[in-house]
Amino acid sequence: MHLRRTVVALLLAAAAALAAAPATPAAAHGGPPARFPAGTVTGPDGRTAFTDAQGRRLQLRGFNLDKYAEATEADVTSLAAQGFTLIRVAVSWTRLEPVRGHLDPAELHRLRQLLGWADRYGLLALIDFHQDVYGPKFGGGDRGIPPWATRDDGLPFTPDPDDWFAGYFQPAVQAAFRHLYDDPDLRAWQADFYTRLALELRGHRSLLGYDLFNEPFGPVDGDPTDPAVLAAASAALEQGRLADMYRRLIAAVRRVDTRAWLFVEPTVLVGQGVPTRLPGFEDPRPGPARLGYAPHFYDTAVENGADWDPSDGFVERYTAAIAAYPAAHRLPVLVGEWGPPDSRRPGNTQLVRRQVAAMDGFAEGWTMWYWCRGTGGYCALDPAGHPAPGDEPAFGPYPAAVAGAGVSTTATPTGHTVRWSADGTRHSTELVLPPAAFPRGARVAATPATARVDVEQPYGGRAGTVRIRLPHTSPGTPVTVTVTPR
């Protein structure tokens, strides 16, 4: 969640749910369970998908929560009730290790409790090592990198209440990031923290893995108001200090956990059409790599408070900017954060719809920012727990597991159409029907005529499922399923 203002606007030039009554666990009623990705498959188009143990292509969808240590069991049950299968949990190094060398037992208990809820209600959890403007010493509350790991060389820090992101360019913050990347003891302490936390959480059934460092930033040597300087600084960071950090953190987690997926993030410039300069990374686990790419999908002008202008080319620039890196390194894409700060405005309503459609074309999963109730801001729910006006496309039906390739989802004026090419395995394909989109159930039609369709209608405030089995279909057979609200 980022409200970038004056300084961040220059990045543009550098580029030239339902929280109703707690639901019954989805798994207990045959709803869509969380599916741990067993591997990946890369298609002819270069797109790499998550696959389950049956080889079906997976889509993971959900929301961010718990940045402020506020998540409850009701949040998790309401997420699951809508058919979402993923939560991105923002954890704080400061809260987890307030004193160097000692993980806080109460914070660990709370995190394990949250993972337990996720497991109970059929969700996977991605642990996000979150930071905003480094950490608490620079106004981050109890979030981010702890004070004992903050070295600012006594340089000044003057917060701007109207432009919190500008804090990244303050001399003290620049120094803190430089020390974190460069100082051998800070490197070792950070790696040790990741290893010890991974040891505490490893093997948990709901644990998908780790987003290794939220919205990485670093030193800017030169005038930060110069777009060329920012672009050069981002490239240097991704190719040098940040790449080295990711190698250390991958090794740190892998010392104790070979099961979890590990995701790397580019800098925020990708949101303005600047392709990442990150290198490829090796995964030391035995067997195929479990690495992924987790960019964020934010429009700077919208984050500054503007209503989205559909003619600004943002979605097209972003899509073009992120395509090459995951294709070159065969990484599945999971968009860790996206969504406007006010979906109720007309342009932003269009933006949500466009982003959902765009991600269907390049991402294997996403987590929207943010699962909460409110009358504005990033909350995806209104005060009554219904989808916030404008956020409805995020609550649409989606193919959670597909026995085939080339899957696509198209929203139509009357419903949704899902298409794919069958793989001939006779495994079932499963589509999720969130009750927000189908309050009175759904009508389903499928081709070819041999398709066996089983529809579990949404009821009682929880998601339904469409299961399609093709018992006598050759590989490559086109399949089309239309889903229309009653």
- Structure tokens given for 211: 């987003």
Task: Return the pLDDT at 1.
Answer: 47
Alpha-carbon span 195 to 251, nearest angstrom: 9
Contact (Cβ atoms closer than 8 angstroms) between residue 14 and residue 269: yes
**Cα 159 from Cα 164, distance rounded (Å):** 7
DSSP per residue, 260-319: SEEEE---GGGGGT-----------SSSS--EEE--EE--HHHHTTPPP-GGG-HHHHHH
Across the strands, what pairs with 452?
Answer: 469
pLDDT tens-place values along the chain, 486 residues long: 444 433 333 333 333 333 333 333 444 333 444 589 999 999 999 999 999 999 999 999 999 999 999 999 999 999 999 999 999 999 999 999 999 999 999 999 999 999 999 999 999 999 999 999 999 999 878 999 999 999 999 999 998 888 888 999 999 999 999 999 999 999 999 999 999 999 999 999 999 999 999 999 999 989 988 989 999 999 999 999 999 999 999 999 999 999 999 999 999 999 889 999 999 999 999 999 999 999 999 999 999 899 999 999 999 999 999 999 999 999 999 999 999 999 999 999 999 999 999 999 999 999 999 999 999 899 999 999 999 999 999 999 999 999 999 999 999 889 999 999 999 999 999 999 999 999 999 999 999 999 999 999 999 999 999 999 999 889 999 999 999 999
pLDDT score of 486 = 95
Contact in structure between 143 and 136 (CB atoms under 8 Å): yes
pLDDT at residue 302 in the model: 95
Q: CA–CA separation, 351 vs 345, rounded Å?
A: 10
Strands 207-211 vs 124-129: parallel, antiparallel or unpaired: parallel
What HEC string does 92-133 produce?
Answer: CHHHHCCECCECCHHHHHHHHHHHHHHHHCCCEEEEEECCCC
Q: What is the pTM of this model?
A: 0.93
Phi, psi of 477 (to 5 degrees): -65, 125
Q: How far is CA 178 from the centre of its chain?
A: 27
Q: What is the pLDDT of residue 272?
A: 84
Give the model's pLDDT for residue 80.
97
Residues 343 and 477: their CA atoms lie apart, in Å, by 39
pLDDT at res. 90: 98
Fold of 10-26+59-396: TIM Barrel (3.20.20)
- Which residues sit opposite 99 in a β-bridge? 102
Indicate the angle between helix axes 171-182 and 241-254, nearest 10 degrees: 50
CA distance 417 to 420: 10
> Residue 25's pLDDT is what?
40
**Angle 171-182/184-201 helices, nearest 10 degrees?**
70
User: How many C-beta atoms lie closer than 10 Å to residue 325's C-beta?
Assistant: 22
Q: State the pLDDT at residue 16.
A: 35
pLDDT of residue 34: 57
CA terminus-to-terminus distance, the chain: 36
Domain coordinates of the chain in residue numbers?
10-26+59-396
